[in-house]
Every structure is written in structure tokens, then in C-alpha cells.
Amino acid sequence: MESLAKKKANFGTAPVFLTAISTILGAIMFLRFGYAVGNVGFLGTLGIIFFAHLVTIPTAMAIAEIATNQKVEGGGEYYIISRSFGINVGAAIGIALYLSQAISVAFYVIAFAEAFDPVFQFVNAEYGLALSDKRIVSIPAILLLSLLIIFKGSDLGMKALYVVVGILFISLIMFFVGVTDYQQGMDQFNFNTTVANADSFFYVFAICFPAFTGMTAGVGLSGDLKDPKKSIPLGTLSATIIGAVIYVLIAYKMTIAASPEELDGDQLVMSKIAVWGPIIPIGLAAATISSAIGSVLVAPRTLQALAGDKIVPAPAFTSWLAKGKGEKGEPFNATIVTSLIAFVFVALGNVDFVAQVISMFFMVTYGAICLISFLQHFAADPSYRPDFKSRWFISLLGALLTIYLMFRMNGVYAFISITVMVLIYFAITNLKKDKEGMAKIFQGVIFQLSRRLQVFLQKAEKEDFDNWRPSVICISKDFFQRPSAFNLMSWISHRYGFGTYIHYLEGYYSKEGHAMAGEELKRLIKVAGTSGSNVYLDTMISPSFTSAVAQAIQLPSVSGKEVNMVMFEYSKNAPDNLRYIIDNFTLVKSAELDIAILGTSDKGFGVNSHIHIWITPNEIENATLMILMGYVIMGHPEWRKAHIKISAVFPETEISEVQGVLLELIKTGRLPISPNNVELIPQQEGVAIKEIINQKSKDADLTMVGFRSEAIKSREMELFEGFEDIGNILFINTTKEKEIE
């Protein structure tokens, strides 16, 4: 693309306008607009114009907006899309856009051949021949056109445009001033008169829609413009608006000047209405050849830009396509390829078929451009400062209508075109992993959506105990030595909860420390990325563990929901950092947060099959939080086959009452715990509860035990010792008993 940017640009606004208006007022206007009026009536034709411009005007405004925000280089619409959506998405749409432009060349040449219908009729009548195949005109025409553009370049095309646009407007003036016998004998204007057995509205729409797609034709000349930011908006919007007005006037003139049968049966019916009939075939020839010139100028430039971005895994061929000729970098080689594609479709010779194919490709392109504009409005990117501003709802309307109209026109073609582009995108993404994808533009949208959701949640009630869900922050310096705490956080965050994992780095904040923290975060994300977790990762540099805890518990949750639990972890084999956890317990409790302390063992979490929850008289208030935590963990696929077992150690006199409470809690709370997995154990004098836990939970994959704040103050490290026979153990302390409904 750098080589394209360096080439000399000398075009002003006029070529953009002329290319667009000559394409808008082209083949469809002369050959199929009478058919449209005859089949759907004046009101139906206005509907076609209206719906078409609900797509084209938002697209024109979006193009004007995007073009005034960035430097638009060679490639026109493709450049706009690829620099907004990213190269991979842009290339997928750009390939479809290029094909539609290349096929458009064939479409206009086929239509150009239709202008020779009077000549065919004369020759057949004069010499007794039966000539009917217009390809004897269209094939030589495409060859001649291709050779002229290949060897003479865009300057010849621009000079020809001025001539043919002049002829085009003369033919329209003669059409409007013409008066027919039907018009003179018309008693009253009928808005809805159509032929019998008329074609459906959307079938007619699909055939006529290419008439309105010409408004973006001039955008493809972006690399040849002196000032694209000025010329593209002015030329595109003026051509779109003027074209819409002219089409409304043509529909009215046709309705009053010819019967529906005449409009439907004669594709050159305009020649019978014009004050001088032959001007219409001449105008058709001028319009179609000018449209063909416009397309054959634009399509190779799109292909050249695609090749310049090196999206095709064929370096030699790509370099050949991207190579320009002369001082202005004319797309000589890309024009040869475009001419060959156009030649194939010219050989098919079916105007209606080619029109429907073009409609689908253009619809997708327009939808993408409108979507870019809408997303840029929503993303509120400070770097997006266009001189011309559309409105987000206009762009959204254009994007939604393109999808709707595509499937109404032809569901099969719409599905195929979208599927083809999706396949192209994945193919390019697979081959070019270093190129930007959809994240380029959606990142800003996600930021805005996340911000608004967080503000909404912040304004909501801070804590709803009836609908409790964990919002956990974990502080640890041992991620790379013991990932058990991170694994537990990822299970909690998978479906029901939110988690933030803070990797603590001891030291003072400095330039070197900041760089080290950045590298550690990259390492964390890389390692954690393979797990597919929903945990938010971050690093924190602080001179002490206490200061790190104080900072962490004041951090806002990335979920928008305030943090309600802090998790610590230590190794049962070497509980060196357990002292730091105990020393900071009071600090965390002052913030009224629940606390979870994970003691890890060499066994780890085993086979993720059994979760044991222990309830004792002194820690009864922790029971509901432990049960809810078990349920949350089982929401992860790795625990989907797990079972929760609740064991309660109480005096024998309280066993019956406690059992009833637990079973009722399971029933009313709809918890996936079998009554058979609720075990009541009579408390025996002289038998320590730790001894019972060690015996009955030695095969558990995760054991949960509650503890009271008073106990940690009096017993400190002893409280967490004595569980050597079991695997990972999670100690739970709740600020307030949770309700399970």
C-alpha cells in the first residue's frame, strides 16, 4: 500500500461525481425501469427508490464520514473497510467487492449491446437476416474497452466520461419533453396500475437495485484524488441525491406516458416516449459505456489495493498484481485480470442474472460500511473525528436494511454470498494470523459497553444477599509455583461468579519494576490463556504484602459488581506465607468481605469428583456460603460429574434437628445434592473434629471447612494445621450468613 500512496494524484471532485452519476443513471434506468413501473406501478416504483435509498443514502453518509476522518488511499471502499475492520475482515469483504465491480463491467457491456437493438432490427429487416445474439457486439466491446484502459489508462477514461455524461443528460431532457398519445388521452393518474400476473416487488427490486449502487463508484478513485476528504463526500452525496430525484421524475413520466403493458413489453420503451427516439439507444450506449469505464477504472484499483496488502499466499502473483505502471502507478496487471473476469460474464449474456449477483455483493459491502459507521459512533473513539458526521441511527438503519433486503430479494443468493465471505475471512485469518481481525473495531465497542454496564451495576444495589454471587479477588505471589488458586478462581468465574487474580510482586514501584510487571502480566496471560478461563489477570508492585492487600481490596471489580470475597492461598507443606495471611485477616474483615483461604497439597484437586463440606456447631453461619461455593464450582465443565457431600458434626441431641434443617435447605434451594450425601456425625467426647475430617475426607478432591473470626485471633496458625491426610482444603469465613432460596 505504500507504493500506492506515493503515486501522483491529480483528480478533483468532478470525476467522483461523474463516475457516480453516470453509473446511477445507467443500464437499469434505460432497460429495466420501465419494466419496474409496469410490474409494481408508480407507488411500487417509489417504494423501490425509497427502500434502495434507505440503504444507499446511509452508506453514502457513512462513506463521507469515514473518508473525512482518515486519509483514504488507493482502493476506495476496500481501503475504508480494511482500515476500519482490520485487514482480514476488510479483505474478505474486499474480495467480494472486487468481484462485484469486475462483474459490473460485464453487466454494463451486456447492457451496452442492448442499445444496438434498433440496429439489429434494421439489419434483419433490410437484409433478411435473423440476428439476435447481442454477444456479437458485447464481446468485441469488452475487448476494445479493456485494451483502451490497459494501454491508455485513467486519463482517457476521465475524458470519455465528460462526453458520455453530456450525451446522457441530453437523452434525459429529450425523454422528459416527449409527449405520447397515451399521455394526451389519459383521463386520470393511476398510482397502482400494473400488468396482469406482475412479478413480485422484491424480485423487481433485486433487478433494479444495481441502478442505485453507482453512488460508491467514485470512491474507488480515491488513490487518484488530490483531496479525497473533500471530493468523496461532496461527489458521492451530490450524485446520490440528484440520482434519486431523477429516478422519481422518470417513474412519474413513464406512468403518464405509457401503459403498463408497453412498459413491461419493450425494454427500450423510453425511445417511444422521447421527443426524438434514437437518442435513447444513444443515451443507453453512452450511459452503459460510461458505467463500464467507471467500473473498469475502479475494480483494478481495488484488486491492486488487495494485492498491496499481501492477503493471498502467492508472493510472486501478488507482487505482479500490486505493481503499478507509469508515474501514477496505473493498475496495468490488475486491469488485465479484471478484463478476463468481465469477459467470462459477458459470454453468459444474461442481464437479469448478472444484476442479481451484483446486488448481493454490493449489499454486503454497503452493510459493512454502515456497520463501521455505527460501531465508530458507539465506540466513541477519541481518534474518530470526521469533518462530516452522519448519525448512528441512520447508519444502523442502513446496516439492518441491507441484511433484510438481501434475504427478501433472494434468500439462497444471500446465504451463499454471506457464507462465501465468512469462508474467505477464516481462510485469510488462518493464513495471515499477524493481520488485524474484527477485534480492531469491536474493541472500542466492548470498552464502551463494559463501561456502561459497570456504571449501571454500580448504581444498582451494592449487595443483594437474596441473589448472592461470588465476586472474588485473589492475591498471591506463587502463580507459577502453585496454580491451584488460579484454577479455583477460573472455576468460580466460569458461569456464576467473577474473579480477579492479582499476582503480587514485592518491591517499590519504578520504571524497571513497571517493565518487569508488564512482562510478568504477558507471561500470566499466555499461561492462563490455554485454560480458557474468565479470570481477569493483573500484577501489583508493593513493598509489603499488607500494602498490597490494602490496595487490592480497594480496587473496583472489572465485572461492575463490588468485590465481596478475598481469597488467599498457601502451601500446606511449606506454610511460610500463612503468617502473612493471618496478620492481614483483620484488615480484610474491616472491609466487611468474606474470606477464603486455600491450603494446597501435592495431591492438588485430584480428579474433580468429590467436594466435601464440613459443618460444626461453632461455624454454622459459614454453612450456606460453603454450600453456595460448592454449587458455583460445579458449574464448571471440569466438575460437571462431581458430587457434593455435606457432613455435620453435632452433639447427638441436635442431630435430628440439624438433619431436618439441611434437608429442607437442599429441597427449597433446589441444590444438586442427594439426601444420601448428607451425613450427620454425633460428636464424641475425646475425638477431635480434625481427626474425623482427616478420616472421612482423605479421598475428597476439595474439602471446605468454616472458621470464625474469633478462632483465628486466638489460635492463629494452629487453626489451619492438622489436615495433613487430606488434599486441597478451602477455609471459609463469611461476613454475613447467606440465604438460599
- Kindly state the average pLDDT of the residues 64-70: 73
Q: How confident is the model at residue 465 (pLDDT cuts 50, 70, 90)?
A: very low
Residue 701 is predicted with a pLDDT of 94
Q: How far apart are CA 138 and CA 526, in angstroms?
A: 59
- Helix and strand numbers (H, E) in the chain are 30, 10
In the three-class reduction of DSSP (H, G, I as helix; E, B as strand; rest coil), residue 324 is classed as: coil
Q: How far apart are CA 526 and CA 543, in angstroms?
A: 26
List all residues 6 or more positions away from 653 whose beta carbon is below 8 Å from its beta carbon: none
Contact, 143 vs 347, CB < 8 A? no
Q: At 160, list the grid cell.
A: 470519455
* Radius of gyration over every alpha carbon of the chain, rounded to an integer in angstroms: 36
Residue 4 is predicted with a pLDDT of 39
Exposure string of 348-363, with b = 16+ CB inside 10 Å and e = fewer, is: ebebeebbbbbbbbbb
- Kindly state the average pLDDT of the residues 622-629: 89
DSSP-assigned letters across all residues of 397-452: HHHHHHHHHHHHH-HHHHHHHHHHHHHHHHHHHHH-TTS--THHHHHHHHHHHHHH
What's the pTM value of the predicted model, to 2 decimals? 0.62
pLDDT tens per residue, range 466-525: 567 888 999 998 888 888 999 999 999 887 888 899 999 998 988 988 999 899 888 888
Bridge partner residues of 475 (DSSP): 502
Exposure string of 174-194, with b = 16+ CB inside 10 Å and e = fewer, is: bbbebebeeeeeeeeeeeeeb
pLDDT tens per residue, range 642-671: 999 999 888 888 888 888 888 887 777 667
Q: Is residue 588 over pLDDT 50?
A: yes
Q: What percent of the chain has pLDDT over 70?
A: 86
Q: For residue 710, give the amino acid letter.
A: E
Domains and CATH numbers, the chain: 2-438 (1.20.1740.10), 465-733 (3.40.50.12370)
Q: Is residue 598 over pLDDT 90?
A: yes
pLDDT tens per residue, range 247-260: 999 999 999 999 99
- Kindly state the average pLDDT of the residues 418-425: 81
